Structure 1
Amino acid sequence: MQMREMGEFNFIKSVADDTIYDMSTVICGIGDDCAVYKAKKGYHQLVSTDMMVEGIHFSSKTTAPFDIGYRLGTANISDIAAMGGVPRQVVIAVAAPPDGNSQRLQEIYEGLKSICKIHHVNIIGGDTVRTDGPLTVSLTIIGEVPEETELYRSGAQVGDVVGITNTIGDSAVGLEALLDNARGYLHCKRVHQRPEPQVYLGNVLRSLGAHAMNDISDGLGSELNEIAHASGVAIEIDETAMRFHPEVIQWAKKKEISPWSFALYGGEDFQLVFTIPENIVNEVSALEGIQLIGHVVSGAPGVCLRTAQGEKKIIPAQGYNHFSK
């Protein structure tokens, strides 16, 4: 059924069920002019938003409708994780072509519900409108973090150790493998289509005393430069310290390029990059899913890669940019 046949209000009714996963924080969800939620005393509120446009952020060739919603949820939840916070509520806005398939849009909602259910994030409202352009889906998320404990990009200090969660470059390889119709690479394809936000590790790192954190949505090169410039420090990462997933190594060999290209400039892994003081290195390195890859040093703000031969290569702030050529 096309959206023009179903209509706005019938569509809203069709997706309004199974949207509240933590009743303790919600007073009024979908169905009124505004949603009403409870803010905890002693916590700061966190707000972020992400938008996905068909043809820019996703296509039917690489992303099923369910995965569109899942990835949109992950992108928002990951922003909260990067502050060391806990995601609580989301509102969703959709601009859909009138001749669009209503079932496809319902499946997008099912993907969003799936990732929200995992992290106990309530879907408490939104808006649905018509567009003559491509399908556009926007999500706004509200989270919380204990007062004065949130982690900023500007918190890195000289002497800190730099780390990441899990492995990176996986999503970029997954996208290329999907576009090439390559067999295998199931891990990387799954990471691209259904990435997992690192809420747990973000909270643990905050509680242990991390100084700065950022989520890796636009590539490690871009995210590290954001931390370096916001903090007024230089960052050196060690080429020999990074561990890549075997599928990333395999794909890089096939394409005859360095796996670092995918890690630095691929993006959409939604892992975390962080800096920690030396006195908690042992505690952090004992956590599952942690790699320590470099140091914060004095100098002009920027990022460099120290090669196995001891050379330093400047890492520019490249990554996905909506308005670059």
Structure 2
Amino acid sequence: MQLQDIGEFNFIDSINSDVINDASTVVTGIGDDCAIYKANPEMEQLVSIDTMVEEIHFSLRYMTPYDVGYRLMTANLSDIAAMGGIPRQVVLSVAAPKALDVAILDEFYKGIKDQCKLHHVNILGGDTVSSQEGIVLTVTIIGEVPRGTAVLRSGARPGDIVGVTNYVGYAATGLGALSYGYDGYDMTILGHQRPDPQIELGQALRMHGVTSMNDISDGLASELHEIAKASGVNIVIDEQIVPLHEETYTLAKSLGTRPVDYALYGGEDFQLVFTAPKELEDTLKKIGQITIIGQVLEGNNIVQMVTKERKIETLEARGYNHFGN
């Protein structure tokens, strides 16, 4: 059955169940012109928006509709994680061709709902419209963080250490394996199709006193440049310490590429990169899933890497650019 066969309002009615996962924060959900949620007076509110466009951010050749919905929510949840926050509410908008199979749209929403349920996030409403070509999915997320504690990009200071969570270059490895039809990349393919936001780690890092933080959506090099620019510092990392999965090394060897480039320029890992005072290094390592990869220096917005040959390489702010060539 196609979307045009059931119409906008019937489709909306069909997806409005199982959307409230924390009723304590909701006054009025779906059904009015606006939803009403309760903000905790001890918290500051966080808001972010992400859009995914078919054949730009995702392809149904490499991902199921469920994966796309799941990954869309990860992108939004990751923005809250990067501030050390707690996700609370979302509203979403879908533009889809009239001839789209309703079952595909149902699977998009199932992926979205499952991620929301996992992280106790409410879906408070949204919009469904037609598009001339392709699917466009947009989510606005609202979160919260204790007053005065949000972790910004602008707090890095000379002498700080630089760290990342888990593996980086993971998603780009999975996409590369899918693109070339390679077998044996189950972990990184899953990392591309269903990445998870680092919400708990983000909160733990905030509570331990990290000085700046960013989520890795456009590649590690790009995110480090954002921190360096916002903080007015230089950053240097060590190629040999950047945590790469063994599947990244295997793919790079097969393709004759440099393994670390998957981390630097691949993006969409939705891990966290952060800076913290040097004296916190041992404490942060005890949290687990954290690798210290570099340090913050005095300077003016330069990001460099010590290569495995022990040479200094200046890294470009090169991630995915929607309006680049």
Normalising to structure 2: TM-score of the pair? 0.99
Look up the match of 2:151: 151
Deviations 1:222-241 (A, max 9, x none): 00000001100000001222
- Residue 55 of structure 1: how far off its partner (Å): 1.3
2:222 matched to 1:226?
no
Q: How many angstroms apart in 2 are the aligned matches of 1:236 and 1:43?
A: 34
Q: How does 1:1-325 map to 2 (within 5 A)?
A: 1-325=1-325
- Residue 63 of structure 1: how far off its partner (Å): 1.0
- Most deviating of 247-256 and 208-217: 247-256
Deviations 1:81-101 (A, max 9, x none): 000000000000011111111
1:287 is aligned with what amino acid?
Answer: I
Q: Secondary structure at the match of 2:140?
A: strand
Q: How many angstroms apart in 2 are the aligned matches of 1:19 and 1:260?
A: 40
1:50 is aligned with what amino acid?
Answer: D
Q: How many angstroms apart in 2 are the aligned matches of 1:178 and 1:206?
A: 36
Q: What 5-or-longer segments of structure 2 have no aligned partner?
A: none
- Residue 310 of structure 1: how far off its partner (Å): 3.0
Q: Tell me the matched-pair count.
A: 325
- Residue 32 of structure 1: how far off its partner (Å): 1.1
Q: How many angstroms apart in 2 are the aligned matches of 1:60 and 1:312?
A: 40
- Residue 308 of structure 1: how far off its partner (Å): 3.5
- Residue 302 of structure 1: how far off its partner (Å): 1.4
- Residue 243 of structure 1: how far off its partner (Å): 2.5
Q: How many angstroms apart in 2 are the aligned matches of 1:253 and 1:53?
A: 31
- Residue 313 of structure 1: how far off its partner (Å): 0.3
Q: What 5-or-longer segments of structure 1 have no aligned partner?
A: none
Q: Secondary structure at the match of 1:286?
A: helix
Q: Which runs of 4+ in 1 moved over 2 A?
A: 307-310
8 Å CA contact 2:89, 2:122 repeated in 1: yes
- Residue 181 of structure 1: how far off its partner (Å): 1.6
8 Å CA contact 1:61, 1:179 repeated in 2: no
2:272 is aligned with what amino acid?
Answer: L
Q: How many angstroms apart in 2 are the aligned matches of 1:308 and 1:3?
A: 54
8 Å CA contact 2:168, 2:242 repeated in 1: no
Q: How many angstroms apart in 2 are the aligned matches of 1:239 and 1:107?
A: 40
Q: How many angstroms apart in 2 are the aligned matches of 1:41 and 1:309?
A: 53
Normalising to structure 1: TM-score of the pair? 0.99
Q: How many angstroms apart in 1 are the aligned matches of 2:225 and 2:190?
A: 28
Q: How many angstroms apart in 1 are the aligned matches of 2:121 and 2:228?
A: 32
Q: How many angstroms apart in 2 are the aligned matches of 1:181 and 1:250?
A: 14
Q: Secondary structure at the match of 2:69?
A: helix
2:136 is aligned with what amino acid?
Answer: T
2:44 is aligned with what amino acid?
Answer: H
- Residue 311 of structure 1: how far off its partner (Å): 1.7
Q: Secondary structure at the match of 2:76?
A: helix
Q: Secondary structure at the match of 2:157?
A: coil
- Most deviating of 176-185 and 89-98: 176-185
Q: Secondary structure at the match of 2:57?
A: coil
- Residue 282 of structure 1: how far off its partner (Å): 1.1
Q: How many angstroms apart in 2 are the aligned matches of 1:246 and 1:136?
A: 34
